[in-house]
Amino acid sequence: MTAPDKAGARAVLGFYELANGADPKAAGVPAQSWVFFRPVPSVVEPTRAGSNYVNGFPADTTSVQTATADTTMVVGSWAIIMFTGNEGAVGAATPAGFTVLMPLTLVGTLHMAVYGKIVDATDVNTNARKFTMSFTGSSQNCTTMLLWGGTSAQPVANWLIGTVENRATAGGTNVNIAPSITTTVASTLVLALSGERTSAADTAAPAVTGGNLWVWGGELQPQQLQTSTVAYIDKATAGATGNVTFTYQNPHTTNGLALQVGIPPVAS
């Protein structure tokens, strides 16, 4: 039986539909008819928008690399810089405005560091989406990889930073393992970042299990002796992500580092 309309409340199939925030008592709705619904916040997984990397050629002797994003990077986008270099690439400076996600770490003859931020107006309007990595040593042995995405990411302080695994403890001479992290928010974007350096040329990206290959690039073109690889996991539900394994063409006993980074969404 359909209830009669009241002032400020419309009866629909026996229920009263009130304007958001309306007082049912003031609208004359019988108390036994009051039912309240609390809207559930929606979340949108931070998207992957683009990537670009700058690598060192054999003739390079500079100690600065600048990576540039395209116009898909906007104010509010998330951004990550992944830096890799040989054992001579010491003294890497944190790029302006970034937070250290993984400090410069050396294993064997491979250095790797990871930095993150939320893009601001200065990045887009003043700096024209250009991001500079400075370090001590020649850039012929370095790669600066820039990754960016959509505007639905939480602040960097809320990102999840996994354990850094090095090849010496991963149990294989051509394998990097990015250990699992546990997300607490649904629709978290999970990135697995892997750096590797060998004495033989890689002609293809490593095989990825536990995730999906996104970006592969390296230094010393065309030899590809040192490469940077990024995979992703679309984590629709909260919980453990599982390990992401990178299997490379060429072996090296120690030169490999990998970790996972989780970028949780904001509620809308």
Mean pLDDT score, 156-161: 98
Specify whether 32 is located in the same domain as 98: no
Specify whether 4 is located in the same domain as 112: no
In this prediction, residue 1 has a pLDDT band, given cuts at 50, 70 and 90, of very low
pLDDT in tens, 70-94: 999 999 999 999 999 877 667 788 9
The per-residue pLDDT for 159 is 98
Specify whether 127 is located in the same domain as 158: yes
- Structural contact between residues 65 and 139, judged by C-beta atoms closer than 8 angstroms: yes
* Separation CA 243–CA 177 (nearest Å): 7
- Structural contact between residues 1 and 12, judged by C-beta atoms closer than 8 angstroms: no
- Structural contact between residues 184 and 42, judged by C-beta atoms closer than 8 angstroms: no
Please tell me whether residue 244 adopts helix, strand or coil conformation.
strand
pLDDT in tens, 48-60: 999 998 876 555 6
The residue segments making up the domain with residue 13 are: 1-39
- The answer as to whether 242 is a domain residue is yes
The per-residue pLDDT for 105 is 94
The per-residue pLDDT for 202 is 82
Specify whether 52 is located in the same domain as 180: yes
- The answer as to whether 76 is a domain residue is yes
Specify whether 80 is located in the same domain as 172: yes
* Separation CA 113–CA 28 (nearest Å): 64
In this prediction, residue 173 has a pLDDT band, given cuts at 50, 70 and 90, of confident
β-strand 212-219 against 207-209: which pairing, if any? unpaired
Specify whether 17 is located in the same domain as 57: no
Specify whether 96 is located in the same domain as 12: no
Summary count for the chain: helices (H), strands (E): 2, 21
Burial 225-243 (b: 16+ CB within 10 A, else e): bbbbbbbbbebeeeeebbb
Number of domains present in the structure of the chain: 2
214 strand-pairing partners: none
- The answer as to whether 120 is a domain residue is yes
Picking from 241, 183, 180, 197, the residue whose alpha carbon sits closest to that of residue 105 is 197
- Residue type for 111, please? H
Which helix (H) or strand (E) is 120 found in, with range? Answer: none
- The answer as to whether 268 is a domain residue is no
CB proximity list for 189: less than 8 A, separation 6 or greater? 45, 46, 47, 48, 149, 153, 232, 233, 234, 235, 262, 263, 265
If you average pLDDT over every residue of the chain, what do you get? 84
User: What's the whole-model pTM score?
Assistant: 0.82
- Residue 163 phi/psi, 5-degree rounding, is -70, 140
Picking from 81, 24, 11, 76, the residue whose alpha carbon sits closest to that of residue 53 is 81
Specify whether 74 is located in the same domain as 35: no
Specify whether 104 is located in the same domain as 200: yes
**In the chain, which ranges are continuous DSSP H helix?**
121, 167-170
* Separation CA 185–CA 45 (nearest Å): 10
